[in-house]
Amino acid sequence: MKRILIFILILCASVAFAALGPELQPNPNLTGTGGTPVGSATGVVADGYRMFATITAIGSKTVEGYQAITTTAGVASLYGSVSLPTLTLGTEYTATITVESVTGGILWRVCQANGANVQFSIEITTSGTYTQTFIADATFLGTNHLASIGAGESITVSEMSIKEVVEDTNNAYLGFFNFFN
């Protein structure tokens, strides 16, 4: 019996693959300085974001334009505050954050700006890119949210993203077929 192995590239529109939809987080690269310091926060904050502090936190921009936060006393947080997207119950999303110059343990979440409806909570202690996929357990206006930036802690953020996971039926896949003669 002769065995013939055939590899065939098949373009198939009936097979679904996961893809990411458009960006939902306003100003995902944290550009600009038109954001709002709230409470005891001072300094500059990226457009469309708020930085809240209970005692003392300072917002600044790096040479590259990234958002830096340093807390000297109390606790601070950073979150989107303008044109937040509606995250829908039962829908799958992927959130990504890219950070550097991390001192301490800072909580990263996707939730409402006020901290309600937390979808996940991950402690960040080192520089890097973090990605978390989740299925929304409520319908709400959502944002990436850095929380619990405590006294003596600091972080620099270059990206905060939320995208819906969507079905992509326009991908090719490699099929393997084994025929016997």
Domains of the chain plus CATH, in order, are: 22-162 (2.60.120.260)
pLDDT at res. 167:
85
Beta strands in 44-153 (DSSP E): 49-61, 67-73, 75-80, 86-87, 92-103, 106-111, 120-124, 128-135, 140-141, 143-150
pLDDT-above-70 percentage for the chain? 84
**C-beta separation of 70 from 158 below 8 A:** no
Model-wide pTM > 0.75:
yes
Helix H or strand E segment including 10: strand 3-11
Handedness of CA 115, 99, 167, 120 (dihedral sign): negative
Q: HSE of 169 in the Cβ direction (CA atoms, 13 Å)?
A: 3
Average pLDDT across the chain, whole number? 87
pLDDT at res. 164:
97
